[in-house]
Amino acid sequence: MTWLVTGGAGYIGAHVVRALLDADLGAVVIDDLSSGHRAFVPDEVPFVEASILDTTAVEKALAEHDVTGVVHVAGFKYAGVSVQRPLHTYEQNVTGTVSVLQAMESAGVTRIVFSSSAAVYGTPDVDLVTEDTPKTPESPYGESKLIGEWLLADQAKATTLAHTSLRYFNVVGSGRPELYDTSPHNLFPMVFEALLEGRTPRINGDDYPTPDGTCVRDYIHVADLARSHAVAAQRLANGDQLEAAYNLGSGDGVSVRQIMDAVARATGHAFTPDIAERRAGDPARIVAGGDLAARDLDWTMRHSLDEMVSSAWQARSRNQ
């Protein structure tokens, strides 16, 4: 049994690859290395350097490695930047998903686990988001992820595709010392880079309608997330019926200011963050429950906030 991980050389994808291996499921990686790293792919895992927009390359990878299913992680993941680059976002996330589904149909591969996002909900008017909460995305990124879910659902109606989508927001931490988040747009890497360069980290907006004025999110550990991808893959391979979508949430939000305090504790760098303007496309609060995922995908929060921050910092420091 082998699963193709699109974007498997990236931060999240590389953790998913290791979770698949830990579960005795084989893995193949396809990645164009636009944001991923060849060094993140284990030596024993076959690697195809190609874009998911290259349908022929995806189909070839599926056929040559006798792939059981796809864990589709590849995509353009930056909500704020997507406001300035909507066409690029749609090309990577919508056209890219179409390409993967076309390749799967041609190769006769009928199982897919899709990396979605809590950004599909926009700014919910409820304290705790469930899978049934209305979808009102506020950025091209969130819209593209919702369209991705629609594509899977429509393809399933037309074919024998078995699918599920995992929705999550801020993925942090490190499950392996050699893996760390290198995104220039994500909170943890931006804070760590500032500290390593002697700059003061900043908060984008402190006037949100939240307890301390900063954005509230679900911060979940990347290893916990990756484990649930592997469980979803195994269950689809077994022919089990899964929900169309699952929230991977803590049920309890953490503010950006609380993150900053945890960073100070983990790094030993005392600082008072600078305050900048809000970023376009950033909702004030998203906190999701994970009850369905706990029931079906062995989802649970296995790491505290301090453990998330310290593991991320240790991995980043090790790879300076």
Q: Are 185 and 259 in contact (CB under 8 A)?
A: no
Q: Are residues 59 and 166 in the same domain?
A: yes
141 is catalytic: yes
CA 272 to each of CA 263, 275, 314: distance values in angstroms, whole numbers, following the listed order: 11, 9, 21
Q: Are residues 262 and 134 in the same domain?
A: no
Considering 78, 90, 141, 246, which one is annotated as catalytic? 141
Residues 49, 33 contacting (CB under 8 angstroms): yes
Q: How many domains does the chain divide into?
A: 2
CATH number at residue 35: 3.40.50.720
43 and 158 housed in the same domain: yes
- Verify that 241 and 98 share a domain, yes or no: yes
Q: Of 52, 235, 244, which Cα lies nearest the Cα of 153?
A: 244
CATH number at residue 282: 3.90.25.10
**Do residue 156 and residue 196 come from a single domain?**
no
Q: What's the domain range around 229?
A: 2-171+218-247
pLDDT digits (tens, 9 = 90+) for 65-102: 999 999 999 999 988 899 999 999 999 999 999 999 99
pTM above 0.85, yes or no: yes
Are 23 and 160 members of one domain?
yes
Considering the domain architecture, whether residues 162 and 272 belong to the same structural domain is answered as no
Residues 175-224 have pLDDT tens digits of: 999 999 999 888 899 899 999 999 999 999 999 999 999 999 899 999 99
